[in-house]
Structure 1
């Protein structure tokens, strides 16, 4: 009986447990629903956050795209920036030091053209605009012309260098006869100097990245070892100072010292130049005072692809062939026959002219080839054209007494 009662009690307890379990199951779905709501809200909140993030990302991306597609800044015309400097060199060559105030960078030029006729001087100095300091800003290099190849001028002796700061030309350094710089590539220069018969100096310098100055790499020089001047020593430093007290004395022979200089000379490189004879300076009165027409020997510029008009003088066998070109479109271009009219007290020549050939417009796309008789000492041929200011300009065709190149020399009519 007791056993039955015990079993009955256990059954009753089990039923209560089961009933209790059913009650919890009924409550839990309610909690899960609530949790689902909260979870859903959370998910929705996350979705909103994702939407917001996506929106922000889109906005950022869009902004970046706009920034990337902004129009580039217009390129700076450094030729215009350096025009005033170029004009000053051109005018100095024309007038000489007597009528011109000598400033920075000009002394080397005057030394280079001393005792030259004006036309030869214009053809013996050139310039280049290129970024040798590699800072993104081209420098202006004034250089002595050493040679010509197919009418292209080259040189390496630096007369002056300018750079550009805030769209204004700034003088950097100059070279002179007894303190010269020659280009050896990149931003480097070979230096040669002299302080007297026994004092020789050479070395290398580098143009600073801003193009404003030079830094010394190596500076070699000779100097007497004592006050008796009986023995000459060789010295080196990296400061560019001609002072043996701050330099290292080199234990080398004369031959070894000069071999160092010889090895550096082998590094010299030519720079392609525009001769000042081809420069057209700006003038308030006439817009330009230099020739806008260039003249070349035909064999130097013509090839099978050249497009040109041709003219021949009325002679049985013309002896020379020249080419006239321009970078601008010029009106009323003429080839003239010249006859000496007068030479005034200042040496200015005037000519009588006769038209041989006329073209309504000379353009950069088409050359004019002229077959002429050989040149005399006094010019017998010339050209005329109307420049961009509407002024008629006259130029005599001459040979350079220095290298036989062709020159155009302006005269007044």
Structure 2
């Protein structure tokens, strides 16, 4: 009985951490002050003006440590970058972009790691924070960090690969809905059992342990599936954070934005 209770409690915490579900998941971010924008900036869409405040707060945090306006949600990976990378390197390799991944015609703000330069573009797969614009406000969607990789698939699904140890690994597949909430397609995780590790599947992403079903998949097959998702994730074109003050959102690939077509 104690073992079953412990398993239920642990799985509940695990699903909240890695499946993107929690009571604060889509909290509306507080309004943040910015210096007066130029006339051109004022003419930008409302979502672009609000996203600019978020990017500006990240820029200031990386540049000089100012965190007054840095969103509480979505800062884990960004804080890791500032802790382990030098200022100039962080400003160069932390990037931002706008891309409509919910299909509602309004792009999301994605902040991530630039891993390569190709031509004049900067690209990467690792996403550190995603924000959406719904009901006139910026809302937090999801985040990634060193132990919880967040990537985008070609069909705009979001894939999280994380874990709390060798025996507890998770693969979550989700999609951002037009209302700004994450919808879960499926979740796989490993869990110790008498003869080793079992691989479980949960189609509803409910936090109850009894809702998960053990699969016939081996741990090796599970790891291969995780790797396959990582290999098939798409490269995202980012603008380096260092260029934000002089460039803003200009130069983004507009074909990425349904609203810009």
Q: TM-score, normalised by structure 2?
A: 0.71
Counterparts in 2 of 1:254 and 1:107: CA distance versus 1, 3 Å? closer
Q: Distance in 1 between matches of 2:207 and 2:190?
A: 9
Partner of 1:118: 87
Q: Distance in 2 between matches of 1:130 and 1:241?
A: 29
Partner of 1:247: 212
Pairing partner for 1:206 from 175, 181, 185: 175
Partner of 1:186: 155
Partner of 1:71: none
Matches within 5 A, 1:62-81: 76=45, 78-81=47-50
Query: Is 2:189 aligned against 1:221?
Result: yes
* TM superposition shift of 1:177: 2.3
* TM superposition shift of 1:165: 2.6
SS in structure 1 opposite 2:84?
Answer: coil
Matches within 5 A, 1:317-336: none
Pairing partner for 1:155 from 115, 124, 138: 124
Q: Distance in 2 between matches of 1:238 and 1:100?
A: 37
SS in structure 1 opposite 2:232?
Answer: coil
SS in structure 2 opposite 1:82?
Answer: helix
Q: Distance in 1 between matches of 2:71 and 2:52?
A: 18
Partner of 1:261: 226
Structure scoring higher RCO (CA < 8 A, sep ≥ 6) equals: 2
Q: TM-score, normalised by structure 1?
A: 0.46
**Over aligned residues, Cα RMSD in angstroms?**
2.6
* TM superposition shift of 1:204: 1.3
| 8 Å contact kept, 1:133–1:186 | no
Bigger radius of gyration: 1
Q: Distance in 2 between matches of 1:239 and 1:109?
A: 30
- Off by >4 Å, runs of 4+ in structure 1: 97-102, 241-244
Pairing partner for 1:234 from 191, 199, 206: 199
Counterparts in 2 of 1:151 and 1:232: CA distance versus 1, 3 Å? same
* TM superposition shift of 1:140: 0.8
More strand by share: 1
| 8 Å contact kept, 2:197–2:219 | no
Matches within 5 A, 1:251-330: 251-280=216-245, 292=246
In structure 2, list runs of 5 or more residues that go unmatched: 1-42, 251-261
In structure 1, list runs of 5 or more residues that go unmatched: 1-73, 281-291, 294-326, 328-413
Matches within 5 A, 1:6-21: none
Counterparts in 2 of 1:143 and 1:103: CA distance versus 1, 3 Å? same
SS in structure 2 opposite 1:279?
Answer: helix
| 8 Å contact kept, 2:60–2:67 | no
